[in-house]
Structure 1
Amino acid sequence: MKAIVIGATGATGKHLTEQLLNHPAFSQVTIFVRKPLDISHAKLTVKVIDFDAPEVWAQDVQGDVLFSCLGTTLKQAGSKENQYKIDHTYQYHFAKIAKENGIQHYVLISSEMANADAFTFYAQLKGKLDNDVLALNFPKISIFRPPLLVRENTDRFAEKMAEKFLMFANQLGLFQSARPLPTQKLADAMINAVIQNQTGIVNKQAIWELAK
Protein backbone atom coordinates (compact mmCIF):
# COMPACT_ATOMS: atom_id res chain seq x y z
CA MET A 1 0.00 0.00 0.00
CA LYS A 2 0.95 3.61 -0.52
CA ALA A 3 0.33 5.86 2.48
CA ILE A 4 0.01 9.64 2.79
CA VAL A 5 0.44 11.47 6.09
CA ILE A 6 -0.36 15.06 7.01
CA GLY A 7 0.67 16.19 10.47
CA ALA A 8 3.75 13.96 10.28
CA THR A 9 5.79 16.21 12.59
CA GLY A 10 3.25 16.11 15.43
CA ALA A 11 3.27 13.89 18.50
CA THR A 12 1.32 11.05 16.89
CA GLY A 13 2.34 11.76 13.30
CA LYS A 14 6.03 11.23 14.04
CA HIS A 15 5.41 7.77 15.48
CA LEU A 16 2.97 6.92 12.73
CA THR A 17 5.41 7.87 9.96
CA GLU A 18 8.22 5.87 11.52
CA GLN A 19 6.01 2.83 11.94
CA LEU A 20 4.68 3.06 8.39
CA LEU A 21 8.24 3.18 7.03
CA ASN A 22 9.09 0.02 8.95
CA HIS A 23 5.86 -1.83 8.13
CA PRO A 24 6.02 -4.43 5.34
CA ALA A 25 2.47 -3.70 4.21
CA PHE A 26 3.42 -0.19 3.09
CA SER A 27 5.66 0.22 0.05
CA GLN A 28 5.66 4.02 -0.06
CA VAL A 29 5.03 6.81 2.46
CA THR A 30 4.50 10.42 1.34
CA ILE A 31 4.33 13.16 3.95
CA PHE A 32 3.08 16.68 3.26
CA VAL A 33 4.76 19.24 5.54
CA ARG A 34 5.10 23.01 5.79
CA LYS A 35 8.86 23.07 6.41
CA PRO A 36 11.75 20.97 5.06
CA LEU A 37 12.77 18.01 7.24
CA ASP A 38 16.16 16.42 7.74
CA ILE A 39 14.92 12.89 7.20
CA SER A 40 15.50 10.27 4.53
CA HIS A 41 14.33 6.72 3.89
CA ALA A 42 14.09 4.58 0.79
CA LYS A 43 10.29 4.45 1.11
CA LEU A 44 9.80 8.12 2.06
CA THR A 45 8.83 11.09 -0.11
CA VAL A 46 8.65 14.53 1.52
CA LYS A 47 6.45 17.21 -0.06
CA VAL A 48 6.93 20.74 1.31
CA ILE A 49 3.71 22.64 0.65
CA ASP A 50 1.66 25.71 1.44
CA PHE A 51 -1.67 24.37 2.68
CA ASP A 52 -3.28 27.60 1.46
CA ALA A 53 -2.31 26.83 -2.14
CA PRO A 54 -3.83 23.42 -2.96
CA GLU A 55 -3.78 24.18 -6.69
CA VAL A 56 0.01 23.71 -6.56
CA TRP A 57 0.10 20.28 -4.90
CA ALA A 58 -3.35 18.69 -5.33
CA GLN A 59 -2.15 16.42 -8.15
CA ASP A 60 0.50 14.95 -5.82
CA VAL A 61 -2.09 13.55 -3.38
CA GLN A 62 -1.93 10.00 -4.69
CA GLY A 63 -2.02 6.73 -2.79
CA ASP A 64 -4.21 4.16 -1.09
CA VAL A 65 -4.69 5.57 2.41
CA LEU A 66 -4.53 9.06 3.92
CA PHE A 67 -3.66 9.48 7.59
CA SER A 68 -4.70 12.91 8.90
CA CYS A 69 -2.85 13.86 12.09
CA LEU A 70 -2.90 17.65 11.95
CA GLY A 71 -3.79 19.45 15.15
CA THR A 72 -2.88 22.40 17.31
CA THR A 73 -3.90 24.17 20.50
CA LEU A 74 -5.51 27.56 20.88
CA LYS A 75 -2.32 28.80 22.55
CA GLN A 76 -0.14 27.61 19.69
CA ALA A 77 -2.52 28.88 17.01
CA GLY A 78 -2.92 32.29 18.60
CA SER A 79 -6.62 32.61 17.85
CA LYS A 80 -9.74 30.53 17.31
CA GLU A 81 -9.66 31.50 13.63
CA ASN A 82 -6.16 30.08 13.18
CA GLN A 83 -6.98 26.95 15.14
CA TYR A 84 -10.06 26.40 13.00
CA LYS A 85 -7.98 26.81 9.85
CA ILE A 86 -5.44 24.17 10.95
CA ASP A 87 -7.76 21.72 12.67
CA HIS A 88 -10.65 21.93 10.22
CA THR A 89 -10.05 23.83 6.97
CA TYR A 90 -6.67 22.33 6.06
CA GLN A 91 -7.70 18.81 6.96
CA TYR A 92 -11.07 19.01 5.22
CA HIS A 93 -9.64 20.46 2.00
CA PHE A 94 -6.90 17.84 1.95
CA ALA A 95 -9.45 15.07 2.52
CA LYS A 96 -11.66 16.43 -0.26
CA ILE A 97 -8.73 16.41 -2.69
CA ALA A 98 -7.82 12.88 -1.60
CA LYS A 99 -11.38 11.69 -2.28
CA GLU A 100 -11.39 13.36 -5.69
CA ASN A 101 -8.06 11.67 -6.48
CA GLY A 102 -9.44 8.23 -5.69
CA ILE A 103 -7.86 7.49 -2.32
CA GLN A 104 -9.81 4.62 -0.82
CA HIS A 105 -9.25 4.86 2.94
CA TYR A 106 -9.20 7.98 5.11
CA VAL A 107 -7.98 7.82 8.73
CA LEU A 108 -8.52 10.83 10.99
CA ILE A 109 -7.47 11.62 14.55
CA SER A 110 -10.44 13.33 16.14
CA SER A 111 -11.27 13.75 19.84
CA GLU A 112 -13.24 11.83 22.42
CA MET A 113 -15.17 15.09 23.01
CA ALA A 114 -16.03 15.66 19.33
CA ASN A 115 -19.58 16.94 18.98
CA ALA A 116 -20.71 19.59 16.51
CA ASP A 117 -23.45 20.64 18.96
CA ALA A 118 -21.18 20.86 22.00
CA PHE A 119 -20.83 23.98 24.12
CA THR A 120 -17.05 24.27 23.86
CA PHE A 121 -15.26 25.54 20.76
CA TYR A 122 -12.79 22.63 20.55
CA ALA A 123 -15.45 19.92 20.78
CA GLN A 124 -17.56 21.75 18.17
CA LEU A 125 -14.56 22.08 15.88
CA LYS A 126 -13.70 18.39 16.04
CA GLY A 127 -17.33 17.34 15.68
CA LYS A 128 -17.84 19.51 12.62
CA LEU A 129 -14.75 18.08 10.94
CA ASP A 130 -15.95 14.54 11.67
CA ASN A 131 -19.32 15.30 10.08
CA ASP A 132 -17.80 17.05 7.07
CA VAL A 133 -15.34 14.28 6.18
CA LEU A 134 -18.01 11.62 6.67
CA ALA A 135 -20.09 13.50 4.09
CA LEU A 136 -17.28 13.05 1.53
CA ASN A 137 -18.26 9.36 1.37
CA PHE A 138 -14.85 7.72 1.21
CA PRO A 139 -15.10 4.00 0.40
CA LYS A 140 -13.50 3.45 3.84
CA ILE A 141 -13.17 5.94 6.68
CA SER A 142 -11.84 5.48 10.22
CA ILE A 143 -12.33 8.32 12.71
CA PHE A 144 -10.34 7.86 15.90
CA ARG A 145 -11.69 9.39 19.08
CA PRO A 146 -8.92 8.68 21.58
CA PRO A 147 -8.86 9.43 25.32
CA LEU A 148 -6.27 11.80 26.80
CA LEU A 149 -3.00 11.29 24.92
CA VAL A 150 0.41 10.85 26.51
CA ARG A 151 2.68 13.02 24.36
CA GLU A 152 6.45 13.03 24.68
CA ASN A 153 7.90 16.38 25.83
CA THR A 154 4.49 18.08 25.76
CA ASP A 155 4.17 21.70 26.88
CA ARG A 156 0.42 21.42 27.35
CA PHE A 157 0.12 22.14 31.09
CA ALA A 158 -3.51 21.10 31.57
CA GLU A 159 -2.89 17.91 29.64
CA LYS A 160 0.14 17.05 31.78
CA MET A 161 -1.82 17.62 34.99
CA ALA A 162 -4.73 15.49 33.78
CA GLU A 163 -2.32 12.77 32.72
CA LYS A 164 -0.66 12.67 36.15
CA PHE A 165 -4.03 12.58 37.91
CA LEU A 166 -5.40 9.78 35.74
CA MET A 167 -2.26 7.69 35.99
CA PHE A 168 -2.32 8.00 39.78
CA ALA A 169 -6.02 7.12 39.84
CA ASN A 170 -5.42 4.16 37.51
CA GLN A 171 -2.84 2.78 39.95
CA LEU A 172 -5.56 2.82 42.60
CA GLY A 173 -7.92 0.98 40.26
CA LEU A 174 -9.97 4.08 39.45
CA PHE A 175 -11.04 5.51 36.07
CA GLN A 176 -9.62 2.53 34.19
CA SER A 177 -11.78 3.30 31.16
CA ALA A 178 -10.18 6.75 30.93
CA ARG A 179 -6.55 5.72 31.16
CA PRO A 180 -4.26 7.94 29.06
CA LEU A 181 -3.14 6.57 25.71
CA PRO A 182 0.49 6.92 24.55
CA THR A 183 0.77 8.41 21.07
CA GLN A 184 2.81 5.38 19.99
CA LYS A 185 -0.19 3.19 20.79
CA LEU A 186 -2.51 5.45 18.83
CA ALA A 187 -0.18 5.13 15.82
CA ASP A 188 -0.22 1.33 16.22
CA ALA A 189 -4.01 1.35 16.28
CA MET A 190 -4.31 3.54 13.19
CA ILE A 191 -2.13 1.24 11.14
CA ASN A 192 -3.90 -1.87 12.41
CA ALA A 193 -7.27 -0.31 11.55
CA VAL A 194 -6.16 -0.09 7.93
CA ILE A 195 -4.75 -3.63 7.91
CA GLN A 196 -7.88 -5.04 9.57
CA ASN A 197 -10.40 -2.83 7.73
CA GLN A 198 -11.72 -1.29 10.95
CA THR A 199 -13.93 1.58 9.80
CA GLY A 200 -16.40 4.05 11.25
CA ILE A 201 -16.05 5.84 14.59
CA VAL A 202 -13.26 4.14 16.56
CA ASN A 203 -13.73 4.86 20.27
CA LYS A 204 -11.17 4.50 23.06
CA GLN A 205 -12.01 0.89 23.88
CA ALA A 206 -11.61 -0.16 20.24
CA ILE A 207 -8.38 1.86 20.01
CA TRP A 208 -6.83 -0.02 22.92
CA GLU A 209 -7.84 -3.30 21.29
CA LEU A 210 -6.34 -2.29 17.94
CA ALA A 211 -3.14 -1.12 19.62
CA LYS A 212 -2.32 -4.59 20.96
Structure 2
Amino acid sequence: MSRVLITGATGLIGGHLLRMLIDEPQVSHIVAATRRPVPPMNKVTNPYDLQLSDALTQLTEPLDIVFCCLGTTMREAGSKEAFVLADYTLVVDTAITGLRLGAKQMLVVSAIGANSKSPFFYNRVKGEMEAALIAQDWPHLTIARPSMLLGHRESQRFNESLFAPLFKIMPGKWKSIEARDVAKAMLHEAFSPSHDGVNILDSRQLREIAARTAIS
Protein backbone atom coordinates (compact mmCIF):
# COMPACT_ATOMS: atom_id res chain seq x y z
CA MET A 1 0.00 0.00 0.00
CA SER A 2 1.33 3.39 -1.00
CA ARG A 3 1.09 6.88 0.46
CA VAL A 4 1.11 9.48 -2.28
CA LEU A 5 1.44 13.24 -2.64
CA ILE A 6 -0.25 15.10 -5.48
CA THR A 7 0.00 18.78 -6.40
CA GLY A 8 -2.11 20.28 -9.16
CA ALA A 9 -5.08 18.15 -8.13
CA THR A 10 -7.56 20.91 -9.01
CA GLY A 11 -6.36 21.11 -12.62
CA LEU A 12 -7.49 19.25 -15.73
CA ILE A 13 -5.11 16.28 -15.50
CA GLY A 14 -4.78 16.41 -11.72
CA GLY A 15 -8.53 16.25 -11.18
CA HIS A 16 -8.77 13.03 -13.17
CA LEU A 17 -5.71 11.60 -11.44
CA LEU A 18 -6.99 12.39 -7.95
CA ARG A 19 -10.23 10.51 -8.62
CA MET A 20 -8.26 7.55 -9.98
CA LEU A 21 -5.99 7.51 -6.95
CA ILE A 22 -9.00 7.45 -4.63
CA ASP A 23 -10.30 4.36 -6.45
CA GLU A 24 -6.88 2.69 -6.65
CA PRO A 25 -6.66 -0.19 -4.13
CA GLN A 26 -2.85 0.04 -4.00
CA VAL A 27 -3.10 3.57 -2.56
CA SER A 28 -3.72 3.79 1.18
CA HIS A 29 -3.55 7.57 1.63
CA ILE A 30 -3.43 10.67 -0.57
CA VAL A 31 -2.01 14.03 0.40
CA ALA A 32 -3.46 16.62 -1.98
CA ALA A 33 -1.63 19.86 -1.31
CA THR A 34 -3.51 22.82 -2.79
CA ARG A 35 -3.74 26.59 -2.65
CA ARG A 36 -7.40 26.49 -1.65
CA PRO A 37 -9.37 23.82 0.24
CA VAL A 38 -11.06 21.05 -1.71
CA PRO A 39 -14.20 19.12 -0.66
CA PRO A 40 -13.64 16.21 1.76
CA MET A 41 -12.84 12.97 -0.04
CA ASN A 42 -12.11 9.40 0.98
CA LYS A 43 -8.44 8.70 1.74
CA VAL A 44 -7.51 12.36 1.12
CA THR A 45 -5.75 14.80 3.45
CA ASN A 46 -5.80 18.36 2.11
CA PRO A 47 -3.13 20.71 3.48
CA TYR A 48 -3.71 24.04 1.78
CA ASP A 49 -2.22 27.51 1.69
CA LEU A 50 -2.30 30.30 -0.88
CA GLN A 51 1.46 29.89 -0.87
CA LEU A 52 1.55 26.25 -1.93
CA SER A 53 5.15 25.88 -0.79
CA ASP A 54 3.98 26.68 2.75
CA ALA A 55 1.44 23.87 2.57
CA LEU A 56 4.18 21.50 1.48
CA THR A 57 6.43 22.43 4.38
CA GLN A 58 3.67 21.31 6.78
CA LEU A 59 4.02 17.69 5.67
CA THR A 60 5.80 15.30 8.00
CA GLU A 61 4.44 11.80 7.29
CA PRO A 62 6.40 9.43 5.00
CA LEU A 63 5.55 9.23 1.29
CA ASP A 64 6.11 6.61 -1.40
CA ILE A 65 5.07 8.29 -4.66
CA VAL A 66 4.82 11.92 -5.77
CA PHE A 67 2.60 13.20 -8.59
CA CYS A 68 2.87 16.77 -9.88
CA CYS A 69 0.28 18.06 -12.31
CA LEU A 70 0.98 21.76 -11.88
CA GLY A 71 0.97 23.90 -14.99
CA THR A 72 -0.35 27.15 -16.39
CA THR A 73 0.06 29.37 -19.43
CA MET A 74 1.70 32.75 -19.84
CA ARG A 75 -1.76 34.24 -20.40
CA GLU A 76 -3.15 32.78 -17.17
CA ALA A 77 -0.01 33.51 -15.15
CA GLY A 78 0.06 37.14 -16.19
CA SER A 79 3.84 37.55 -16.04
CA LYS A 80 7.04 35.61 -16.62
CA GLU A 81 7.73 35.63 -12.88
CA ALA A 82 4.34 34.10 -12.05
CA PHE A 83 4.78 31.49 -14.78
CA VAL A 84 8.19 30.45 -13.42
CA LEU A 85 6.67 30.18 -9.93
CA ALA A 86 3.89 27.84 -11.12
CA ASP A 87 5.77 25.74 -13.67
CA TYR A 88 9.25 25.59 -12.16
CA THR A 89 9.52 26.66 -8.52
CA LEU A 90 6.42 24.89 -7.18
CA VAL A 91 7.18 21.76 -9.19
CA VAL A 92 10.69 21.60 -7.74
CA ASP A 93 9.30 22.31 -4.26
CA THR A 94 6.92 19.37 -4.71
CA ALA A 95 9.85 17.14 -5.62
CA ILE A 96 11.97 18.34 -2.71
CA THR A 97 9.09 17.58 -0.33
CA GLY A 98 8.79 14.07 -1.71
CA LEU A 99 12.50 13.39 -1.33
CA ARG A 100 12.47 14.82 2.21
CA LEU A 101 9.71 12.39 3.17
CA GLY A 102 11.30 9.32 1.60
CA ALA A 103 9.52 8.98 -1.76
CA LYS A 104 11.39 6.95 -4.37
CA GLN A 105 9.23 7.74 -7.37
CA MET A 106 8.01 10.96 -9.01
CA LEU A 107 5.68 11.48 -11.95
CA VAL A 108 5.32 14.95 -13.42
CA VAL A 109 3.41 16.64 -16.23
CA SER A 110 5.64 18.67 -18.52
CA ALA A 111 4.87 19.59 -22.13
CA ILE A 112 5.79 18.68 -25.67
CA GLY A 113 8.72 20.80 -26.80
CA ALA A 114 10.27 21.08 -23.33
CA ASN A 115 13.92 22.03 -23.85
CA SER A 116 16.18 23.96 -21.51
CA LYS A 117 17.98 25.43 -24.55
CA SER A 118 14.82 26.51 -26.37
CA PRO A 119 14.56 30.12 -27.57
CA PHE A 120 10.90 30.00 -26.54
CA PHE A 121 10.31 30.98 -22.91
CA TYR A 122 7.54 28.45 -22.22
CA ASN A 123 9.50 25.49 -23.59
CA ARG A 124 12.70 26.65 -21.90
CA VAL A 125 11.11 26.85 -18.44
CA LYS A 126 9.57 23.40 -18.90
CA GLY A 127 12.98 22.04 -19.95
CA GLU A 128 14.71 23.67 -16.99
CA MET A 129 12.12 22.14 -14.67
CA GLU A 130 12.79 18.69 -16.14
CA ALA A 131 16.55 19.16 -15.80
CA ALA A 132 16.17 20.16 -12.15
CA LEU A 133 14.18 17.01 -11.38
CA ILE A 134 16.58 14.78 -13.30
CA ALA A 135 19.47 16.25 -11.30
CA GLN A 136 17.75 15.07 -8.10
CA ASP A 137 18.52 11.48 -9.20
CA TRP A 138 15.17 9.85 -8.48
CA PRO A 139 15.19 6.03 -8.67
CA HIS A 140 12.04 6.39 -10.83
CA LEU A 141 11.20 9.65 -12.59
CA THR A 142 8.42 9.69 -15.20
CA ILE A 143 8.05 12.85 -17.27
CA ALA A 144 4.82 13.13 -19.26
CA ARG A 145 5.07 15.43 -22.28
CA PRO A 146 1.53 15.71 -23.63
CA SER A 147 0.60 17.70 -26.69
CA MET A 148 -2.53 19.86 -26.59
CA LEU A 149 -4.89 18.63 -23.90
CA LEU A 150 -8.53 17.78 -24.51
CA GLY A 151 -11.13 17.87 -21.76
CA HIS A 152 -13.61 20.11 -20.03
CA ARG A 153 -12.26 23.21 -18.30
CA GLU A 154 -14.36 25.70 -16.37
CA SER A 155 -12.68 28.43 -18.41
CA GLN A 156 -11.44 27.45 -21.86
CA ARG A 157 -7.95 28.51 -22.82
CA PHE A 158 -7.97 30.71 -25.93
CA ASN A 159 -5.14 28.98 -27.79
CA GLU A 160 -6.61 25.54 -27.12
CA SER A 161 -9.95 26.62 -28.60
CA LEU A 162 -8.22 28.14 -31.61
CA PHE A 163 -5.85 25.30 -32.45
CA ALA A 164 -7.79 22.25 -31.18
CA PRO A 165 -9.11 21.22 -34.65
CA LEU A 166 -5.57 21.25 -36.06
CA PHE A 167 -4.00 19.22 -33.25
CA LYS A 168 -6.71 16.56 -33.50
CA ILE A 169 -5.47 15.60 -36.98
CA MET A 170 -1.73 15.91 -36.39
CA PRO A 171 0.34 12.70 -36.39
CA GLY A 172 2.15 10.83 -33.62
CA LYS A 173 3.33 12.75 -30.59
CA TRP A 174 1.85 16.01 -31.88
CA LYS A 175 -1.74 14.78 -31.88
CA SER A 176 -3.84 16.20 -29.05
CA ILE A 177 -4.61 13.91 -26.12
CA GLU A 178 -7.41 13.55 -23.61
CA ALA A 179 -6.36 14.74 -20.16
CA ARG A 180 -7.91 11.59 -18.72
CA ASP A 181 -5.55 9.47 -20.83
CA VAL A 182 -2.55 11.33 -19.45
CA ALA A 183 -3.79 10.63 -15.92
CA LYS A 184 -4.40 6.95 -16.72
CA ALA A 185 -0.91 6.57 -18.14
CA MET A 186 0.67 8.26 -15.12
CA LEU A 187 -1.20 6.01 -12.70
CA HIS A 188 -0.16 2.94 -14.68
CA GLU A 189 3.50 4.02 -14.68
CA ALA A 190 3.37 4.63 -10.93
CA PHE A 191 2.68 0.98 -10.20
CA SER A 192 4.19 -0.66 -13.29
CA PRO A 193 7.12 1.56 -14.33
CA SER A 194 8.49 0.93 -17.81
CA HIS A 195 12.04 1.03 -16.47
CA ASP A 196 14.22 2.48 -13.72
CA GLY A 197 15.66 5.96 -13.88
CA VAL A 198 14.21 8.63 -16.15
CA ASN A 199 11.32 7.78 -18.46
CA ILE A 200 10.04 10.50 -20.83
CA LEU A 201 6.68 9.79 -22.47
CA ASP A 202 5.19 11.78 -25.35
CA SER A 203 1.52 11.92 -26.32
CA ARG A 204 1.70 8.87 -28.57
CA GLN A 205 3.26 6.78 -25.82
CA LEU A 206 0.85 8.12 -23.21
CA ARG A 207 -2.12 7.17 -25.40
CA GLU A 208 -0.74 3.67 -25.91
CA ILE A 209 -0.24 3.11 -22.19
CA ALA A 210 -3.70 4.48 -21.39
CA ALA A 211 -5.25 2.15 -23.97
CA ARG A 212 -3.72 -0.86 -22.19
CA THR A 213 -5.04 0.03 -18.73
CA ALA A 214 -8.23 -1.30 -17.21
CA ILE A 215 -9.35 2.02 -15.72
CA SER A 216 -12.82 2.87 -16.99
Q: Tell me the TM-score normalised to structure 2 length.
A: 0.88
1:187-206 mapped onto 2 (5 Å cutoff): 187-199=183-195, 200-206=199-205
Say whether the 8 Å CA contact 2:145–2:200 is kept in structure 1. yes
Matched, 1:57 2:58: yes
* Amino acid across the alignment from 1:198: S
* Amino acid across the alignment from 2:22: L
**4+ long deviations beyond 4 Å:** none
Unaligned runs of 5+ in 2: 212-216
User: Aligned pair count?
Assistant: 204
| 1:89 counterpart residue number | 89
* Amino acid across the alignment from 1:120: F
* Amino acid across the alignment from 1:20: L
**SS of equivalent residue, structure 2 residue 46:** strand
1:65-76 mapped onto 2 (5 Å cutoff): 65-76=65-76
| 2:148 counterpart residue number | 148
Query: In 1, distance between residues paired with 2:193 and 2:126?
Result: 23
Residue 36 of structure 1: how far off its partner (Å):
1.1
* Amino acid across the alignment from 1:15: H
Greater mean alpha carbon deviation, residues 25-34 or residues 114-123: 25-34
Residue 198 of structure 1: how far off its partner (Å):
2.5
Residue 188 of structure 1: how far off its partner (Å):
0.2
Query: In 2, distance between residues paired with 1:198 and 1:6?
Result: 23
Matched, 1:176 2:175: no
Query: In 1, distance between residues paired with 2:73 and 2:38?
Result: 22
Query: In 1, distance between residues paired with 2:72 and 2:56?
Result: 24
| 2:214 counterpart residue number | none
Deviations 1:57-87 (A, max 9, x none): 1435x31110000111112211000110111
Identity of aligned residues (%): 25
Say whether the 8 Å CA contact 2:66–2:107 is kept in structure 1. yes
Change (3 A) 1:54 1:45: closer
Unaligned runs of 5+ in 1: none
**SS of equivalent residue, structure 1 residue 48:** coil
Deviations 1:153-177 (A, max 9, x none): 352111122112233xx3xxxx231
